[in-house]
Each structure stands twice: as C-alpha cells, then as structure tokens.
Structure 1
Amino acid sequence: MSYVLVKKIQDRFSLQLKAGEEGLGRKIYKSDISRPGLEMAGYFTFYPSERIQVLGKTELSFFNGLEKADRIDRMNRLCTEETPAIIAANGMEVPVELYEAADKMGIPVFRTSIATTRFSGMLANFLESKLAPMTAVHGVLVDVYGIGILITGKSGIGKSETALELVKRGHRLVADDLVEIRQVAENILIGTSPELIEHLLEIRGVGIIDMMTLFGASAIKGDIRISIVLELEDWVLEKTYDRLGLDEEKIKIIGTELTKLTVPVRPGRNLAVIIEVAAMDYRLKRLGVNAARDFSDKLDNVIGSKPSQMDEEE
C-alpha cells in the first residue's frame, strides 16, 4: 500500500515542528484531510483518526472557550495511535493541552501561517498525487509540444537515444528507463521519474549523463500527463503496418485507455521527427482535424462519383 511519511509533509510545506519529533517517521495512508470541529465539541463517534488533523481558527477558538478538564479530554481523545499528525494552520498557537497529549502518544504537531482552507486544499492535492494508484513501466517519458509521450520497446531499441535527440530539438525529458505512473483522477495518468534517476539519461557507449547539467533546467520536466504510448519495434518486412491511421489502437494502463502508436525502427528513419509529428497530429485530432479520416472521405467520394466501366460501355 502506498504511503507518505510525515517528514515528507513537513519538508514539502516547510512546517514548524512544535511537538512529537519522534513521530516524523509515521506513515500516511489516506489522502483525505480532517478538520475536527465536531470532535472539539466532544463528538468522537465517527472520528477519522487515521487522517491528518488540521486545526484552524474556528476549531481552536471554540476549543479555547472550553473548561480546562474538557480541553484535556478533547486533546487526549484527538491524539490516537493511528493519528499521523496534527497541524495548526492560519498561524494559530498550539494549545498546551495538545502539546502534552501529542508528546505522550508520539504524534508530530506542526504550525503553519498558511490560511486553513488554502492549506487543506494544498495538502489534499499533494497527498492525492502521492497516494494515487501507481504502477511502473520500463520506458522513456518525454514532453513534446506539451504532449506526454511514453516511449516503450525492448532494451537497446533506441528509446534513450531518441529522447536525447528530442531534448536537443528543444523538448523535455521527464523520465528515462523507469517511469512511475499514477492515476490522479479518472482517465488521467501522470508520469514521473523515480527520485534516484531523476534528470539522468543512460546512453550506451557513453554512460549516464545529467540532462539538467548538460542542457539546463529547460531540458527537464518533473511530471506530465501521459497522452500517447509510442512503441518502438524492429522493422519486420512481412508485417503490415498501418499506413493511413484510421484505426486508432488503444492500450490500458491502470484501467485508463491511451492512444498507442507502433513505430517500426530501421536505419534511416528519424524517430525524433516522427515523434514530433505524432504529438502535433494528436493535438490536431483533439481539435477535430483528422487527416486520415478526411482523406478516406475524399477517396470514398471520388470512388462513388466515378461511373463504372459498364456504364461507360453502354
């Protein structure tokens, strides 16, 4: 099961640690955020203790108006073994009762100056992207004219060399060799690179190169939505390849259908240019311009309007 460490949340949002340092290694499994308003009033029947708890001005203002015994009770019940972290937003001061209860349970307590609603949205989006259904695919992911293209194929077919040529032509590398793919929403797949090989590209005979160092920050991109899967394969003379593009092949990744193109590789073919054209053609099709369909319609019209040989003889 995917998870995010509490320490990752602290680093991502520059949170100020106020208590429970020993709990920074706690794991977060849920992307949902809880604002425990009812819990501050004493209603814990459906308390989602496994979520990050965000306390804003409303919750803490109500809490500060409670009797001392009630404040201690609320915080002791708020801090459970399952609770990954508690965050006081909007610059609110952390109550003493929360310090004591969190330290006793080893729960990290943070403070941020970001407005509560805005911070909750940012945190939820971050967790959703990290905890979304994920798979890993062997291939290369590039950003070509804003279109995410996942290049696949057997080892040594030329995926990395093609990506290098695309970068030299002004496009951007997202991931080489291994692509992590997350389904962040229905029919939306986002591809990223594992941290260990981020910005790196392997070229046989040269070795591993750092694309950002060689070509600058504009040559790399952190993530992109995948729109096309382009498979490279050795050219087979006996195989019939699609020459019109009328039948759009599909491939499923984590239940999401993507357009798939199969491109045969042989000496003399400029794969970088082919991929550029594939990206532009994909964008045109989404705008309603389909050259293959238009050609087919024109051909049908010509055939339909041409008199038959029998009619000519009569």
Structure 2
Amino acid sequence: MKKSGIIEQIENGKMSIKESFRLLNNNNNLALKQHRVNSNSKKKIQEIKAKLDRLVGLDKLKRLVNELEAFVKIQQKRQENQLATEPLVMHMIFKGNPGTGKTTIARIFGKLFKELGLLSEGHLKEVERADLVGEYIGHTAQKTKDAIEDALGGILFIDEAYSLARGGVRDFGKESIDALVKGMEDNRDDLVIILAGYPQEMENFLNTNPGLSSRFPIKVHFEDYTLDELIEIAELMLEEREYELSQAAKSRLYKILAEKRRKAGPEKGNARTVRNLIERAIRIQATRVVEKEKIFRKDLMKIEPEDFED
C-alpha cells in the first residue's frame, strides 16, 4: 500500500497509528528482501560467468553468454519503460563432436537463465531418442510429453537429435518432433530446448525440416579442441584432483592424443578422451606408487609417462 493511502486511512479513522507503523515496516522489509534477491542473482551470475571463463577455449560461447545476458537485461528494461520488446526465444542448436563441451555449456546456460529470470528452476534434463520414441502408436507422444514435464523450468537437452528423423515416414520419431514443437509452444515461458549432435548430421537434419530450424534461433558450432588446449584441459582436471603431470608425462600425453586424432579424427580426441586417459593414468599411478616402501607427498601427486598406457 502506498504511504499516501495509509495516511488517508489514519485521517479517516480506518487505521490506527500503531497499525500504520506495522504496515510500513512490512513494506520496507519486502523492499529489502527484493533488493537482496536481486543482489544475490547478480552475484550468482558473476560466479557462473567466472566458471565459464575458467573453461578452456569456447571463446565464441563466452561471447554468446555476454550477448544473451545483455539482450535479456535490455528487453527487461524496455518492458519496464513500456517499449516494444523482442520475444525471448532461447531454443538452441548445438553442433559439435563428442567431448567439445556441449553438455557442460547447456548446464551452465540453465543456471544462468534461472538467475536472469528466464527459467524458474534452471536444471538440465538430458535425453536421447530412446527416452522420447515409443514402440507403438500414442506411446511416443506420451514419452515426449513426460520428458518435457520433467524439464519444465529448465533445459531439455536432446543428444543426437538427428536420430529422431532417421527412420523414414513410418518411424515414430516424427511423432516425437511434433510433440516437441507443441511442448515448445505450450511452455514458451519456462522451457528451453537444445538439440545437439554431430555437425554434419545436425545440418542434414535441419535441412530436411526447415520449419523446425526456424524455431531454434540460436545455433552454436562447437569447435574441436587443439592439442595444446587438450593438454591444458588435462592439467586442469588433474589440478582439481590434486595431481600434476611431470614434463615427460605431458609430452607422452601429447603424443598419445596426436596419434588418436590422426587415426580416428577429432571425435576421438577431445575432452572426453582426455578425461578417460587421466582417470586411467590415476589408477595406474596408484598401482605403481603402492609398491614403494616409503611414499612421499610428491609421489602421491605426480603422474609420470609410464602411467599412460598405449
């Protein structure tokens, strides 16, 4: 209630002075609470962006985050000033090889959008074809609807989304796509859908369904990491676990990654491959160190070349 309204009620004998002080105090507390929520959101946004900045590479994604944050804030300001606003449609296409950071970025986006007020929960619901497509008529629509329900308030992340269109005209994948489109329309204010997959397959998928492509205004290509970036990722992974690479081990890991990429292509030489190699090296290091008669702190931390198998 406005202060002038309170004074008017006191003058008309409808409210005591004691009651007016209580109401004013409640209003002041509410204003302070709202200020704390806003300040808390700003702090969390900075923490989320700092976490993003610590990720290796992904420069285009980091710029996109700044653009999205600025766009949302300006649209909110325009709305406050009764100006025309652009629709906040945040559905996205992520194209990239495995291990290029797609799921990690989707999870960060969920948290960011929650703090920006675009999503109520900010969680990530990760699904693939088997979670959406059923085995008989009507089953698919219900499975897709259930996935959307679970994702409401957050992000529905569909990996290898192109597989929904692989089975031809009689396949139930098309039914799932139709249910997704309906879910996007029905829940436009509290749901973001991200379709993800290999670059070429996603491109072919979107070319066969131009109507679907237009519903996803944000399209992001995830570049493969360079070998130097992969070594940096490895060092960060080890640092989090309180391990470190010796110089010889770093050279060994570089050669292994280069060989994997030469033989199998970038999809076998990204961050996921690095994580598998690091976790394996830690286990092998444990079997090497446990045999020592006396174990020092540096022995527990150091990863050596012999800890990386061929």
* TM-score, length-scaled by structure 1: 0.28
Task: Work out which structure has the larger RCO, using CA pairs closer than 8 Å and 6 or more positions apart in sequence.
Answer: 2
- Tell which structure's C-alpha radius of gyration is larger: 1
Higher helix share: 2
